[in-house]
Amino acid sequence: MIKIAKIAFLTTVFTIFTAPLLIVAGVSLNEKKRMFFPPDGLSLRWYPEIFEEAKWAGALTNSVTIAVCAGLLAVSIALPIAYFLWRHRVFYAKALFVLGLVPFALPPVITALGMLIFWSQAGYVGKLENIILAHGVFLVTLPLVMISLGLESIDEELLEAARTMGADGRKLFTSVIFPMVLPYMIAGYAFVLVLSMNEYIISFFLGQHVTITLPVQVLSSLRSGYTPVIAAVAVMFILLAVVIFSLIARFSDLPKLLGAWSPKE
């Protein structure tokens, strides 16, 4: 009885979450420029348009550039903070760490407005690099938390062992610490990548209709009239997330990254 109820509940939840995405995938296959489900005729013709039509291709290039750079930026800020706190345990390091946690805890509209005002004051608006910087800072929390988790999991005795074998501070970092936190850095980078690709409101505020990212383009296309390219883009986003998170799950300890208690076995 209980078991059946449990399975029914889990199935329902999984279905409710998958159904809209599957329907969108179906809609993206429509032959004509309509939004039918089940699709009216089958065609993949809307997918190439993402790369061919200027407004979609431009938005895609922007989004990818922003995501790739913002990821690097976020990790480059997170690594020294996490290392600083882990090695030195001074109050200032803790303060930097907390400061790094704040952006993500705030609703993104606040960051968006703050950055908009900042760049307006500087007289430098609508630039791609503004969005990169904003995403890099806004999403720094994820690699920060993950890299700290990685550093905390390094056994102090390992470092002592390396020291007895003659590793100095620098060698210790390059030969022991860095390789051990690398998986966590990559995971953190991947999280930033996916979230930056999907981020709407900061890109919208800072892009100022000059630099347009994919999510911004999707919403404006939705407003100006429907095209199945939108569904195709949505499917692309879903696939991107599936691929990246599957890779993370494959190459690192996903439950641990998400804060699971290390299992006893």
Partner 1 sequence: MSDATENTTVASVATEDDELVTKPGILGSIKRFPFSIYPTLMLGIFFFIPFAIMIAISFAHRTTSTYEVGFEFTHYARFFSPLFTTHVWVSVQFAALASLFALVVAVPFTFFISRFRRKSQVVSLVFVLCVLTLSEVIVAYSLSVVLGRQSGLPSLMEAFGFVDRAKSWYPSYGANLFGLSYFNIPFAVLILYPACTRLDRELTEAAQTLGASPVRTFFTIVLPMLEKTLLAAFILLFVFTMGAFVTPIWLGRPEDTMMAQLIADQALGRGNVPFAAALAVFFMLVTLALSLLTVWLRRSDKTGVAS
Of 185-244, which residues contact partner 1 (CB under 8 A)? 191, 194-195, 197-201, 204-205, 215, 218-219, 222, 230-231, 233-234, 237-238, 241-242
Contact with partner 1 (CB under 8 A) among 49, 87, 172, 176:
87
Distance (Å, whole) CA 224 – CA 15: 31
- From 264, 217, 239, select the one nearest 54 (Cα to Cα): 217
Sign of the alpha-carbon torsion through 59, 63, 66, 69: negative
Contact with partner 1 (CB under 8 A) among 60, 75, 133, 146:
133
| Three-state secondary structure call for residue 139 | coil
| Closest distance to partner 1 from the beta carbon of 71 (Å) | 13
Contact with partner 1 (CB under 8 A) among 8, 42, 57, 113:
113
- From 57, 59, 21, 36, select the one nearest 226 (Cα to Cα): 36
| Closest distance to partner 1 from the beta carbon of 103 (Å) | 6
Contact with partner 1 (CB under 8 A) among 8, 11, 13, 210:
13
Judged by CB, which is closer to partner 1: 54, or 258? 258
- 156 class by beta-carbon count within 10 Å (0-12 exposed, 13-18 middle, 19+ buried): exposed
Which one of 2-10, 49-57, 160-168, 181-189 is the stretch in contact with partner 1 (CB under 8 A)?
Answer: 2-10
| Closest distance to partner 1 from the beta carbon of 89 (Å) | 6
| Three-state secondary structure call for residue 225 | coil
Tell me the per-residue interface mask from 148 to 177 with partner 1, x by CB under 8 A, - otherwise.
------------------------------
Judged by CB, which is closer to partner 1: 45, or 88? 88
| Closest distance to partner 1 from the beta carbon of 163 (Å) | 18
80 near partner 1, judged by CB under 8 A: yes
Distance (Å, whole) CA 150 – CA 180: 7
Token look-up 């209709």 returns 209
| Closest distance to partner 1 from the beta carbon of 69 (Å) | 14
Distance (Å, whole) CA 84 – CA 70: 22
Contact with partner 1 (CB under 8 A) among 6, 45, 55, 171:
6
CA distances from 76 to 63, 72, 140, 147, 183 (A): 20, 6, 9, 11, 15
* Cis before 183? omega within 30: no
Number of residues located near partner 1, criterion CB under 8 A: 92
Distance (Å, whole) CA 160 – CA 167: 9
| Closest distance to partner 1 from the beta carbon of 129 (Å) | 11
Which one of 1-9, 51-59, 159-167, 181-189 is the stretch in contact with partner 1 (CB under 8 A)?
Answer: 1-9
Judged by CB, which is closer to partner 1: 105, or 165? 105
Question: Cβ contacts of residue 4 below 8 Å, gap of 6+?
Answer: none
